[in-house]
Structure 1
Amino acid sequence: MLTLTNVQIVYDNTIEAVREASLALGPQQIVALLGANGAGKSTTLKAISGVLYPEDGEVKGGQITFEGQPLAGMTPDRIVRAGIVMVPEGRRLFDQLTVEENLLMGGYTRSVAESRLGLERVYATFPRLTPKRAIVSGYLSGGEQQMVAIGRALMSAPKLLMLDEPTLGLAPQICDEIFTIVTRLCRQDGVSILLVEQNAQMALSIADTGYIMENGRVVLDGPADKMLRNEDVREFYLGFGEGGSRKNMRDVKHYKRRKRWLS
Structure 2
Amino acid sequence: MTSIPTAVADTPALAVHNIQVVYGGAIEAVRDVSLEVRAGQIVALLGSNGAGKSTVLKAVSGVLDAEDGEIDKGSIQLFGRAIEKDAAPEIVRQGMVQVPEGRRLFATLTVEDNLLAGAHLRSRSELAAAKEYVFKLFPRLVDKRSTVAGYLSGGEQQMVAIGRALMSAPKLLALDEPSLGLAPLVVAEIFNSIRQLRDQSGLTILLVEQNASRALAICDYAYIMENGRVVLDGTGEQLRRNADVREFYLGLSSKQGRTHMKDVKHYKRRKRWLS
Verify same fold: TM over 0.5. Answer: yes
The match for 2:100 is 88
RMSD of aligned residue pairs (Cα, Å):
1.1
Q: Is the 8 A contact 2:110 2:147 kept in 1?
A: yes
CA distance in 2, matches of 1:39, 1:77: 27
- Work out the CA distance in 2 between the residues paired with 1:216 and 1:259: 17
Distance 1:156 1:243 in 2: 48
Contact 1:28–1:193 (CA under 8 A) maintained in structure 2: yes
Aligned mates of 2:151, 2:172 — CA distance in 1: 29
Greater Cα shift, 74-83 or 49-58: 74-83
Aligned twin of 1:139:
151
Please tell me whether the aligned partners of residues 45 and 207 of structure 2 are also in contact (alpha carbons under 8 angstroms).
yes
**Structure-2 change in CA distance of 1:178 and 1:244 (3 Å):** farther
Q: 2:162 aligns with which of 133, 150, 160?
A: 150
Instruction: Say which of 79, 83, 95 aligns to 2:91.
Output: 79
Alignment of 1:1-16 (within 5 A): 1-16=13-28
Asked whether 1:183 is paired with 2:195, we answer: yes
Shifted more, 2-11 versus 166-175: the winner is: 166-175
Count of residue pairs brought into register by the alignment: 262
Question: Is the contact made by 1:123 and 1:130 (CA closer than 8 Å) also made in structure 2?
Answer: yes
Aligned 1:163-174 pairs, distance under 5 A: 163-174=175-186
Q: Secondary structure of 2:113's match?
A: helix
Q: Please, which of 190, 198, 202 is the counterpart of residue 210 of structure 2?
A: 198
Residue aligned with 2:252, SS: coil
Percent sequence identity is 60
Q: Deviations over 1:44-90 (max 9, x none)?
A: 11111101111001011111001110012222111111110111111
Deviations 1:214-234 (A, max 9, x none): 011000001110100000001
Could you tell me how far 1:117 is from its partner in structure 2?
2.2
SS in 2 for 1:258: coil
Runs of 4+ in 1 over 6 A off after TM superposition: none
SS in 1 for 2:274: coil
Segments of structure 2 that go 5 or more residues without pairing to the other structure are: 1-12
Structure 1 segments unaligned to the other structure (5+ residues): none
**Is 2:223–2:234's contact at 8 Å kept on the other side of the alignment?**
yes
* Correspondence 1:116 to 2:92: no
Partner amino acid, structure 2, of 1:232:
D
TM-aligned CA deviation for residue 244 of structure 1: 5.0
